[in-house]
Amino acid sequence: MAPTVGTAHHVQGSTEWVTTRDGRTLHTMVLPGPGAGGEAPTVVFEAGAAATRSSWALVQPAVGDLARTVVYDRSGLGRSPADPGSRTLHHMADDLEDLLDHFGPGPYILVGHSAGGPLVRLAASRRPERISGLVLVDPTDEGAEVLFSPTFRRAERVVIAVNLLLARIGLLGRLYGSVARPLPEDARRDMARDGFTVGVVRAHRAQARTYLDELAAFRDTPPDLTGVPVTVISGGLTGNGMNKAVRRAANEAHARSATAASPGKHVVAARSGHYVTITEPDVVIEEIGLLVTGTSTPR
């Protein structure tokens, strides 16, 4: 499918639509990188549970100086139409696979934030030969037992219900204003327009129905990423819904996951909570750049 040019000179590039195996369409935005035909991997970004492509607007342009970059909206988020079927982790990984097929044989570096972390791990494990590396930014990790407690699950349901109410009365964007405020103007407008809608919250609710149960299965059969370099970036601070106990459990799980990877690397963004892509984008940019240039070393 030929590219469809979006807003001229948009910081996140030009719009291109991808068709999935079952005929749905996914909205992507592409920065071509330093030149066609280069040897650098294409970098594909996967946002968090209810986040749109705009959440990468402080990271993608800088990485775009090194390589072709692709951001996209999962079905029901941003500009991508809703999926009438289920939104299981495996189904979302199918969509990501279809997106990679659309953009060529690779190689690819996949970057996932929060709930996007397990998603890129799963997709990468299906075709590891085309994956040059993963960067997982404060990812949801099956090693953090706190995620599977009744308390956490109840809290998630409450948050989604409250967000749905706020979206219906047009106030959800105010709750997350600190996330949108630092973005470039065009990306900030995009997020204000299509990042806090009723449809976005409904898509999040559909994903959440099975997400944690599927993630729990990773404890016994994790995606096989043998030989794929994995960098895990943890936030260093509490906040954004993470108290001290949750932050400690998450970062300990991140450290174990990095140690188990071959090769693996663990980095702590000391001045950030969960939204490292907003508060310390340079940390994320640096780690992606090291994988693009092949100079990342385990630690």
**Model pLDDT, residue 295:** 80
Q: Which fold has domain 14-293?
A: Rossmann fold (3.40.50)
pLDDT, residue 274, reads 97
Matching residue, tokens 């188990």: 260
Within the chain, strands assigned E span 14-19, 25-31, 42-46, 69-72, 108-113, 131-137, 230-235, 264-269
The total of other beta-carbon atoms located within 10 Å of residue 293's CB is 11
State the pLDDT at residue 296. 75
The whole-angstrom separation of Cα 202 and Cα 120 is 22
Q: What is the pLDDT of residue 178?
A: 87
Sheet of 42-46, strand order: 14-19, 25-31, 69-72, 42-46, 108-113, 131-137, 230-235, 264-269
Tens place of pLDDT per residue across the chain (299 aa): 444 444 469 999 999 999 999 999 999 999 999 975 567 999 999 999 999 999 999 999 999 999 999 999 999 999 999 999 999 999 999 999 999 999 999 999 999 999 999 999 999 999 999 999 999 999 999 999 999 999 999 999 999 999 999 999 999 999 998 899 999 999 999 999 999 999 999 999 999 999 999 999 999 999 999 999 999 999 999 998 899 999 999 999 999 999 999 899 999 999 999 999 999 999 999 999 999 998 877 66
Report H helices in 182-269.
185-194, 198-208, 211-217, 244-260
Supply the pLDDT for residue 241.
Answer: 86
